[in-house]
Amino acid sequence: MKKFLIVGLGNIGSEYANTRHNIGFKILDNLASKHKTSFKSDKLGDRAEFKLKGRTFVLIKPSTYMNLSGKAVNYWMQKEKLEMNNVLIITDDVSLPFGSLRLKQKGSDGGHNGLKSVNEVMNTQKYSRFKFGIGNDFSRGAQIDFVLGEWSSDENKALAERLNMSASLVESFGLAGASNTMNTYNGK
């Protein structure tokens, strides 16, 4: 049986729950609900698990805060005895329009503190990352407020469909592999 570690990046605490920066948590919550599983508090994060077509998906929402995400990724990779090619990191991306989906198999942190932490702790940039576009509708110097801000009413209306598409992308990553998933979902 193949196993995959799916890590959604975000910040813990109710004040961050509906912020753009927490889209990784929101996507994992959607996946857990879809597969009728729930998160339990564990070391360095909340953990849920489901099986789909002979594959096991371990979902982790780190409790380390965004800029220490690498610590949780490293711990859970070791605990689950997984290689980097069976890991998917989910994050927000201001360089993509709202709701855009992009899977990449390697790359820089792009200024994202969560990915920066993963790169530093794992000492590599060669791992799959799923970037969910949050747009860049902010004025100069207001990026932090935008990223840590809540979704607009228009974004909230479109979010349910985008979360379902995101859940399908994650399932495809485990079932069809990264290349096929990129061909199917990138740019949607």
* Residues noted as catalytic: 21
Q: Are strands 2-8 and 87-93 parallel, antiparallel or unpaired?
A: parallel
Query: In this structure, are residues 148 and 16 in contact, taking their beta carbons and an 8 Å threshold?
Result: yes
Name the helix (H) or strand (E) containing 176: helix 153-176
Q: Are strands 45-52 and 101-104 parallel, antiparallel or unpaired?
A: unpaired
Following DSSP, what letter does each residue of 128-153 receive, concatenated? EEEEEE------TT-HHHHHTSBPPH
Residue 1: CB partners within 8 Å, gap ≥ 6?
54, 55, 56
Helices and strands, number each (H, E), in the chain: 6, 7
Instruction: Give the position of tokens 């576009």.
Output: 133
